[in-house]
Amino acid sequence: MTSKEPTPDQAEHNAFFPSPYSLGEYVPSRTDFDGADHSETTAARRKILLIGADERYLRVDGDRFFSTGNHPVETLLPVLHLQAAGYEIEVATASGNLMKFELWAFPAEDVAVKDAYEQLLPQTESPRKLSDVLENDLGDGSDYAAVFIPGGHGAMINMVDDPVIGETVAWFLKNDRVVITLCHGPAALLAAKDDNGDSLFAGYSICSFPDALDSGANVDIGYLPGPMTWLLSQRLRERGVTVVNDDMTGAVHRDRLVVTGDSPLAGNALGNLAVETLADAAQGGGA
């Protein structure tokens, strides 16, 4: 029987990759991507700011570390759709250091995902520093149409309390630009607060990764090397956000200009919904 023991990451003490068994359950050789048939946008704003995770090691209970980052499918399937619709992806991280990927989750036989990864690689290895984007490019006349925060447990490490991420996401929300995220990416939404410390996303409804997996099955099958120290959907609900899913089905959801999905299974559908929402936003349709 394939082992359910997490695999040690030799690069760091007490750090682990997912177990062989869990990878067999969660990582197919191909995604459900079947092409991106989109008309090229005629909107004036064509830039998408992709905020990537720049840290790899997530502490879990037991003083163990999960070797994580951004999930490649959750990053690249939406990118494929956005690029097909004529949008330009610009990658930034909070530190300006390279964007981290969970390459153990890469669909080995998916040519479209592989090509998208290689095309984006120069940016993910040398991203912009997010504070520079915030200071120089987010203002009147900005040509950013949306912000995209991919999933992967990497978003849980240091995005939730990062003031620059919070101010950046807040700018997109307040300026009627599209906010796109999925799985654990909504951790970044928690950083967007008003002057009283209340969430700017209170009253919104979203999809996110189900807590039941992070507190149960993902530990049992060795995907995680220990229970999470905090749970994403629980924290979102505590901040007044309605999480509409409790399981992982590939669901996507739109509330006004906020577009979300529940897991890697949602990557393809999220890309389609993001393109549709951007088209509506360009025509002034925020409902």
Positions marked active-site: 183
Phi-psi region of 124 (alpha: psi -120 to 50; beta: other; left: phi over 0): alpha
Q: Which residues contact 157 (CB under 8 A, 6 or more apart)?
A: 53, 55, 56, 57, 58, 68
Quote the crossing angle between the two packed helices 111-125 and 72-84, to the nearest 10°: 90
Q: Are 182 and 214 in contact (CB under 8 A)?
A: no
Query: Considering only CA atoms, which of 41, 259, 44 is closest in space to residue 148?
Result: 259
Taking the chain, what is the end-to-end CA distance rounded to the nearest angstrom? 50
Q: Look at residues 107, 51, 113, 46 and name the one whose alpha carbon lies nearest to residue 82.
A: 46
